[in-house]
Amino acid sequence: MDTRHVFIISDRTGITAETLSHSLLTQFPGVNFHTIALPFVDSVAKVDEAVQRIDAVGRETGNKPLVFTTFVEDTHREQLQRANGVFFDFFDTFIGPLERELKAESSHSAGQSHGMVDVARYTSRISAVNFSVHCDDGIHTSNYDQAMVVLMGVSRSGKTPTCLYLALRFGIYAANYPLTEDDFSQEVFPDALRIHRDKLFGLTIEPERLQQIRQERRGSGHYSELRQCRYEVTQAEVLYRQQGIPYLDATSMSIEEIGTTVIHRMKLHRDPY
């Protein structure tokens, strides 16, 4: 398989350039990409070093490297483009058409989207992360009035990573409540959940996949027997239907897909970072 070298270069974090290049390059499964990220390239000397690295790779491989960039400073971008690479600059491409459409000049401050622009908004996001860690695994249910959503599901159905994703990426206060045998054997729906019924969202998962995840984590035992996984998943789904709780099968979904679906179906406010 061919290997093609890719540089991601920015005078800030380079997160935008990395996200976009990742999306583009996954479109070429037949090419093996070797990625070199150079964040914080913010001086003439650092840009010069980057130029030399690009040119060295080009000479060694006989192929021009692909270079994805976002730069605050136009002069840095211009200096970098002296290197012998194939350049993709996201701002260069879209800012012009946007300026014309909006009849406004851009502030020329690429990278602000991942900086700490607004301290109050930023603090609120950190609070959301702390909230999700604090309310993980069904603890501190008394804080559910602060929650925007409460994810329910059996152990290892994906609640914790999804809550943390919602908090980190969108500043959403997400708690999670693990369903255990205690919940299934009780005649009554727990008070902590009942009073927040409109915030509840259930996750379910195929028992076979659940067994696999539990085995990887804890090895064999009652907890990771297929029979036990089947029992818990069935009971969870019965509970969701009985209580009218919206739910989804997360078996073959990524954290991003589960998170996006939860936001969409629960109509949560999303404030991306």
Which residues in the 40-69 window bind its own copies by CB under 8 A?
Answer: 40, 66
Per CB under 8 A, 266 contacts its own copies: no
Least Å distance, CB 3 to its own copies, is 12
Per CB under 8 A, 1 contacts its own copies: no
Per CB under 8 A, 273 contacts its own copies: yes
Q: Which of 149, 239, 137 minimizes the C-alpha distance to 189?
A: 239
Residue-wise burial string across 226-247, b where 16 or more C-beta atoms lie within 10 A, e elsewhere: eebbeebbebbeebbeeeebeb
Taking contact as CB under 8 A, which single stretch among the options 27-35, 139-147, 195-203, 238-246 is the one that binds its own copies?
Answer: 27-35
Edge-to-edge strands, sheet with 3-10: 32-38, 3-10, 66-70, 86-89
Residues of span 173-212 touching its own copies by CB under 8 A? none
Is the torsion defined by CA of 248, 240, 129, 119 positive or negative? Answer: positive
Q: Could you tell me if 90 and 15 are in contact, meaning their C-beta atoms sit under 8 angstroms apart?
A: no
Cβ neighbours of residue 116 under 8 Å, at least 6 residues apart?
122
Which position among 22, 140, 196, 230 is part of the footprint of its own copies (CB under 8 A)? 22
Least Å distance, CB 116 to its own copies, is 4
Per CB under 8 A, 37 contacts its own copies: yes
Report DSSP state, residue 195. T
Taking contact as CB under 8 A, which single stretch among the options 35-43, 51-59, 176-184, 232-240 is the one that binds its own copies?
Answer: 35-43
Give backbone dihedrals phi and psi of 30, rounded to 5 degrees, phi first: -85, -5
Least Å distance, CB 146 to its own copies, is 13
Q: How far is the CA of 165 from the CAs of 65, 135, 198, 243, in angstroms?
A: 33, 14, 21, 26
Residue number with CB closer to its own copies (122 or 231)? 122
Least Å distance, CB 160 to its own copies, is 6
Residues of span 156-175 touching its own copies by CB under 8 A? 158, 160-161, 164-165, 168
Least Å distance, CB 30 to its own copies, is 6
Which position among 81, 84, 113, 141 is part of the footprint of its own copies (CB under 8 A)? 113
Q: Could you tell me if 22 and 88 are in contact, meaning their C-beta atoms sit under 8 angstroms apart?
A: no
